[in-house]
Chains A and B, each alone.
Chain A
Amino acid sequence: MTAFRRCLAGALLFLFLSFGCIQDASALPAFARKYGLRCSACHLAWPVLNDFGMRFRDNGYQLMNEKDAPIWQNNGYWPVTFRITPNWHRESSNKVQVDTAAGAGAGEVQVTSHGYDISGLDFHTGGTLEKNLSFYVLPSSDSTGAFHFETVMGRLDNLFGSTWLNVKLGKFELDNMISEKRILTISNNGGFYQLYHFVPVGDTNVFGQMGDNQLGMEWMGHSFNDHTRVSAALVSSNDGQVGLPNGNSYSGFFTASQAFDAGGLGLQRIGGYAFIGEAPTNTLSLTAPTGEVTATGVPIVSTTPVPGSGFGNKSFSREGFFGLFYVKKFDFDVFYQHGSDDAYFGSATVAGTPLPTGARNPTWNGAFIESHYTWNPQLIFIQRSEWVRMSQQALPTNPSNLGNIDAYTFGYRWYPIMTSRAGFAWHNEYSWVRQRGTSPVTATDLSSSSLMLGFDFDF
């Protein structure tokens, strides 16, 4: 804890920036243009939403003023926003596997690199097709310009005139109250929540990822003032991969939250969630010649999984609670998770084959607390501390702290302009992550850090 305090003290005195992975949902100046509102109306500090913006989103990107349908816009209005972040960043990892004199891949060295770089591009388009019919499409590219579809969804809003009946279909972010797609930190190490992606070391469950956009259907309901929110989503257990690659398994994501008006302090919200489902541990495979031959003329074959043939489903779960607390200019997000994967996942065993001796369901507890200080709508300070602690390892031979994570991030964003047309943030961030026992050669602690300074802008 002392080290953490030192880190925190350092954060308060010394703020750096670093740039990293692409962040998705952001301020949509397309919405600002449509309604004539500034970014600060819906966003505490874009991209993170405030309560007014959250209600706007939950209504299906509608203000419910009878002017939401696209016919009310000038026919030149096109609901598109793009976001990109050119930056300078410094990445450092203390144990990277390299060739040494001792042998190929025998060594671990610290590798540090820094320089100017760019992020990927997000092309957001979203809004209404008609009153109470909304959509969102987000082609997103990495920094080389290779595109994929991050979000593609259509939503029926306020069915039968009720705010409790909204149905979404497509590829979308799970209804995380603390949205990773709207995270205020965007560096390589700080641009995501560990707990939204955490899998124990050696675990083959890549499907239980709360932070990845999933393919499925979601029912969502909220009270008129959006203080009460519930949702239930049924998603395919393929972690958002298109083309039905993994077979026929499903997961469910459930969440509910309640907000309380604390007068002068602001709105406080608490809630809980559960992500439970099953996913395949095995697929059928096909061994076929590649058409090439070895030096001696023997045909080379390769064994590939047959797409869509996943089987041997085993279950997993992630559950916990969260809270969003506002105290005037401060706000705190608190998140807790208890996670559990089936022993077959944890020990990388396919179903139907015997488990290794002593294999158990790996379980863990994790939490993060993220705090913001919004000096004014154009300056926000961010700090986050996150911990993951394994409570039960999959294999008895694993060290008890294998895979435990400590992650600290701090930074600030300054928005020199605040208009209804475009957004610009001078982004500064430092993040540091350490995971126990995962260095590639010696299986000792692996830590890496990111420092980033960038222009995060959208139009």
Chain B
Amino acid sequence: MRTRMLSLFVAVAVLALCTASPAQMTQYDEDQRWNTESHIGSLTGHATGAKVTYRRFCVGCHGVIGDGEGENAQWLDPKPRNFTLGQFKCRSTPTGTLPTDEDLYNTIGRGIVNSNMPAWFPLTNQERADLVAYVKHFSSKWTTEKAGQPIEIPAEPEITAERVKAGEGLFKKLECWKCHGVEGRANGPSADTLTDDQNRPIRPFNFHDGSRFKCGTTDQDLFKIFMTGLDGTPMPSFADNVKPEEAWELVMYLRTLQPANPLNTKEKIIAKQLGLKPINPYAAPPAQPESK
């Protein structure tokens, strides 16, 4: 018994060292991870518990080995997530790190707007927790590293005209308009040439027409999107250059770009009061005392 366990241990250790090789996931690899678990609040999910659920709901798009090559994938845009890569868009963790179990649980329940990923919250909580474990078991990354540390999200401050204007300044300084356009219509100078991590064309989010983001609808969701980036897409993380308090200002400005119907947020009311116009990205900053 002991020797068998030890050889297994050595086998796993050797396998872990071989991860640099560009091997495809095999049935053997997958079989090592049937005991994957997930923990969301008080729920514990087990990959083995989700076999039938995955087959019933997910396999048509995400494929039998979770590589996003289900029978329908060839007709879908955006393409279904390839779970074997261990890379996800909607996270609360920094760019280049794994999402938390709760991030995956929320994505499954909420679905991804403007895509074919349905909102699966009619499934029970336990079913979804099991599916999170099942999604994780497709990639070896979860056996070699832990999920990232969720970013700090301070409490949302009151929406004021000063903050909206500060957010406008950030929108200009961070050059969001290069892709999203000055009115947020996804028509910035770089919008047409954007490609995702597999070099497939992809469009930026259209704030002018879109009331819901891929990763949620709330201000917190919007905060997380640009402070963690949407890995796998051109949308980068701005966490290195935006302080959390400043991030809320940008959230408030972005809300002014979104349609009044159905949102009609306080930010839109403030924007109207301020007479806020689209930014002019090429306007020179106000003249400095010393000449350049």
Contacts of B122 in A (CB 8 A): 51-52, 54-55, 225-226, 267
**A264 CA to B126 CA, complexed, in Å:** 6
B67 → A minimal CB distance (Å): 16
Contacts of B72 in A (CB 8 A): 36-37, 420
Q: Is the CB of A65 within 8 A of B124?
A: no
| Number of A interface residues in the complex (CB < 8 A) | 29
Partner of A65, one of B57, B116, B126: B116
Q: A38-B60, A52-B123, A267-B124 are in contact. Are A161 and B262 (CB under 8 A)?
A: yes
Contacts of B55 in A (CB 8 A): 40, 376-377
B42 → A minimal CB distance (Å): 11
Q: Would you list which residues of chain B between 97 and 153 have a CB under 8 Å from chain A? A: 111-126
Q: Would you list which residues of chain B between 183 and 235 have a CB under 8 Å from chain A? A: 210, 212
Check A12 for interface membership: any CB of B closer than 8 A: no
Q: Is the CB of B118 within 8 A of A65?
A: yes
Q: Is the CB of A377 within 8 A of B52?
A: yes
State the main secondary structure of chain B at its contact with A.
loop
B213 → A minimal CB distance (Å): 11
**Nearest-neighbor residue (CB-CB) of B43 within chain A:** A263
**Nearest-neighbor residue (CB-CB) of B115 within chain A:** A65
Q: A37-B60, A41-B56, A420-B72 are in contact. Are A65 and B121 (CB under 8 A)?
A: no
B64 → A minimal CB distance (Å): 12
Partner of B118, one of A40, A51, A63, A377: A63
B106 → A minimal CB distance (Å): 15
Check B76 for interface membership: any CB of A closer than 8 A: yes
A46-58 interface code vs B (CB 8 A; 1 in, 0 out): 0000011011000
How many A-B residue contacts, CB cutoff 8 Å?
Answer: 81
Contacts of B115 in A (CB 8 A): 65, 67
Check A64 for interface membership: any CB of B closer than 8 A: yes
Check B75 for interface membership: any CB of A closer than 8 A: yes
Q: Is the CB of A67 within 8 A of B75?
A: no
**A267 CA to B56 CA, complexed, in Å:** 17
| Number of B interface residues in the complex (CB < 8 A) | 32
Check A266 for interface membership: any CB of B closer than 8 A: yes
Check A261 for interface membership: any CB of B closer than 8 A: yes
Check B59 for interface membership: any CB of A closer than 8 A: yes
Contacts of A51 in B (CB 8 A): 122-123
B40-65 interface code vs A (CB 8 A; 1 in, 0 out): 00000000000010011101110000
B158 → A minimal CB distance (Å): 26
Check B246 for interface membership: any CB of A closer than 8 A: no
Q: Is the CB of A36 within 8 A of B75?
A: yes
Check B71 for interface membership: any CB of A closer than 8 A: yes
Q: Is the CB of A36 within 8 A of B60?
A: yes
Check A292 for interface membership: any CB of B closer than 8 A: no
Q: Would you list which residues of chain A between 40 and 89 have a CB under 8 Å from chain B? A: 40-41, 51-52, 54-55, 63-67, 74
B57-94 interface code vs A (CB 8 A; 1 in, 0 out): 10111000000001111011000000000000000000
Check A248 for interface membership: any CB of B closer than 8 A: no
Contacts of B73 in A (CB 8 A): 36
Contacts of A66 in B (CB 8 A): 113-114, 210, 212
Q: Is the CB of B119 within 8 A of A36?
A: no
Q: A225-B122, A266-B124, A420-B71 are in contact. Are A63 and B111 (CB under 8 A)?
A: yes
Check A35 for interface membership: any CB of B closer than 8 A: yes
**A66 CA to B118 CA, complexed, in Å:** 11
Check A361 for interface membership: any CB of B closer than 8 A: no
Contacts of B71 in A (CB 8 A): 419-420
Contacts of A65 in B (CB 8 A): 111-119
Contacts of A264 in B (CB 8 A): 124, 126
A103 → B minimal CB distance (Å): 60
Q: Is the CB of A35 within 8 A of B125?
A: no
Contacts of A226 in B (CB 8 A): 122
**A258 CA to B33 CA, complexed, in Å:** 38
Q: Is the CB of B262 within 8 A of A36?
A: no
Contacts of A262 in B (CB 8 A): 124
**A37 CA to B56 CA, complexed, in Å:** 9
**A417 CA to B264 CA, complexed, in Å:** 48
Contacts of A52 in B (CB 8 A): 57, 118, 120, 122-123
A71 → B minimal CB distance (Å): 13
**A420 CA to B117 CA, complexed, in Å:** 15
**A397 CA to B124 CA, complexed, in Å:** 54
Contacts of B75 in A (CB 8 A): 36, 74
A62 → B minimal CB distance (Å): 10
Contacts of B61 in A (CB 8 A): 36-37
Contacts of A420 in B (CB 8 A): 60, 71-72
A165 → B minimal CB distance (Å): 14
**Nearest-neighbor residue (CB-CB) of A375 within chain B:** B52
Counting chain B CB atoms within 10 Å of each CB, the highest count among A38, A161, A266, A267 belongs to A38
**A225 CA to B75 CA, complexed, in Å:** 29
Q: Would you list which residues of chain B between 153 and 167 have a CB under 8 Å from chain A? A: none
**A65 CA to B75 CA, complexed, in Å:** 17
**A291 CA to B76 CA, complexed, in Å:** 66
**Nearest-neighbor residue (CB-CB) of A36 within chain B:** B72
Partner of B119, one of A40, A63, A266: A63
A249-277 interface code vs B (CB 8 A; 1 in, 0 out): 00000000000011110110000000000
Given pairs A38-B56, A225-B121, 7 additional interface contacts (CB within 8 A): A41-B118, A51-B123, A65-B111, A66-B113, A74-B75, A161-B262, A263-B125
| 30 pairs, CB–CB < 8 Å, chain A vs chain B | A36-B72, A36-B73, A37-B57, A37-B61, A38-B59, A38-B60, A40-B56, A40-B57, A41-B118, A63-B119, A65-B112, A65-B113, A65-B118, A66-B113, A66-B114, A67-B116, A74-B75, A226-B122, A261-B124, A262-B124, A263-B125, A263-B126, A267-B122, A376-B52, A376-B55, A377-B52, A377-B55, A419-B60, A420-B71, A420-B72
